[in-house]
A and B are shown apart, each in its own frame.
Chain A
Amino acid sequence: MTVPPAPWALLAEVTHACPLHCPYCSNPVELVRRSRELATADWERVFGEAADLGVVQAHVSGGEPLLRPDLAAIVAAAHRAGVYTQLVTSGVGLTATRLEELVKAGLNSVQLSVQDARAPGSDLIAGRVSYADKGRAAGVIRAAGVPFGLNVVLHRHNLDHLPEIIALGAAWGAERIELANVQFYGWALRNRAALLPAREQLDRAKATLAAHRDAHPEGGPELVWVMPDYYEGVPKPCMGGWGMRSITVGPDGTALPCPAAYAIEGLAPPNVRDRSLSWIWTESPAFAAYRGTGWMTGPCGTCPRRETDFGGCRCQAFALTGDAARTDPACSLSPDHHLIRDLVEGLHETAVDGGESRTAATVPSGFVYRRPT
């Protein structure tokens, strides 16, 4: 076995608990209960070991990380280890005092989520009133002067609001807006039919994006478009390759090459409670399983793109075909591509729409909200 390159990034999912109930949640259907979460000392050790392995950046995420009362201690451990740390938050609970405590502990940047450009749509997706909290959180982040990114998951019910979403990001003072087309992992797969956009919506969104970039070549927030792989015929180069760049550690210490990999049956992911991160990265069977190109099946094995997209996403291959070693069905060369093509081909706007922009509040959502008991 060849020694893998040093990892760059750690995704620390410190809790699955969350005040929001988003239908597109990519966390697993079975959430980790609070009683099984890692202790502060575990996270302190994980950050030290991660830095020793080569990790220089971390996303502290969840769930809602602010629900951990020891978040500042976790951030401080990351900072001591020299890791550049970004908080990924819904904004609910992000007061000036809390953010000050985190920045003092060494927090480097904040990514705030919002679900739509206006309150009704945003609150509808979040499954609770939260838009006003997010606006306040944006003010707090800006006042603290930390780098500020806004993340918006895009889908059928908000794609047509893209111009307003960009304007909101600028008004809130975000330096970066991540326009993340919805992906179907974990809970989100249950809501796929309600979330998949029409192709025309995506075409308009891309035109909006291009026009915005032309109009503001410099200045204004940087716009990052996370591609909708169902519509592109090419797969995502997921995680920069399985076990090549990044480690995810879940609330209970489960370590995975990708946050969606919880769902892959038979993977037997290691746990930081039992093993060092170094063993997990270099020796665990789970991290080796789909590393490189040796495991590839079907068209990937001889494809010129295999070192570019690594055969797409293992978690998506598993979710849609039951076999994580198959070519990602999002790839037009996949023998399973019909699973995606048949779904999106029928999704066109009807003339009845008449160009009226549809607002989420007037659309019967049919969402299955995430409401853990």
Chain B
Amino acid sequence: MPGEDVWRPVLDGSVVLRHDRVRGGDLLLMPERAVRLSGEGGRILRLCDGSRTVEGIIAELRGTFPDAPLGEEVPAFLERIRAEGWLR
């Protein structure tokens, strides 16, 4: 199958992404820890459902942010979250 080794990011099973309706913004919840996502972090991570590639995620966001430097920012953000162990 082509593209088999292409990364299709998905949240780690221990991590829950949810909106914080009391404080506003999005949170990553995991054992003993809650991480507040800044900016569009939550919007990006919501697209990480294991079906989209990083390119696919960028393409999806392009509609909302036509002028943003998504090509650099999104992969860097996803790598940071993966390094924390929250994305697979």
Contact = CB atoms under 8 A, between A and B. Distances in A.
A and B are partners in one complex rather than unrelated chains: yes
Interface of A: 6, 8, 52-54, 56-57, 82, 84, 86, 108-109, 111, 145-147, 149, 175-176, 224
Given A56-B20, A147-B13, A175-B14, 9 more contacts: A6-B23, A8-B34, A57-B29, A82-B18, A84-B16, A84-B30, A84-B34, A108-B29, A146-B14
A176 B13 contact: no
Interface of B: 13-14, 16, 18, 20, 22-23, 27, 29-32, 34
A57 B28 CA distance: 11
A145 B32 CA distance: 17
Q: Which of B16, B20, B30, B32 has the most CB of A within 10 A?
A: B32
A146 B12 CA distance: 11
Nearest to B19: A82
Given A56-B34, A176-B32, A147 B14 contact: yes
Contacts of A8: 34
A111 B14 CA distance: 13
5 contacts: A6-B22, A52-B22, A54-B20, A149-B32, A175-B31
A84 B22 contact: no
Contacts of B30: 84, 109, 147
B13 A109 contact: no
Contacts of A109: 14, 30-31
A244 to B, nearest CB: 14
Given A84-B16, A108-B16, A109-B14, A147 B31 contact: yes
Q: Please name the 4 residue pairs, one residue from A and one from B, whose CB atoms are nearest each other, closest first.
A: A54-B22, A147-B14, A84-B29, A109-B31
A52 B20 CA distance: 10
B50 to A, nearest CB: 16
A8 B31 CA distance: 13
Given A6-B22, A6-B23, A57 B34 contact: yes
A95 to B, nearest CB: 22
Nearest to B15: A147
Contact of B23 (A54, A86, A145): A54
Nearest to A111: B31
A176 B31 contact: yes
Contacts of B27: 56
Q: Which of B18, B23, B29, B31 has the most CB of A within 10 A?
A: B31
Contacts of A6: 22-23
Contacts of B29: 56-57, 84, 108
A8 B14 CA distance: 18
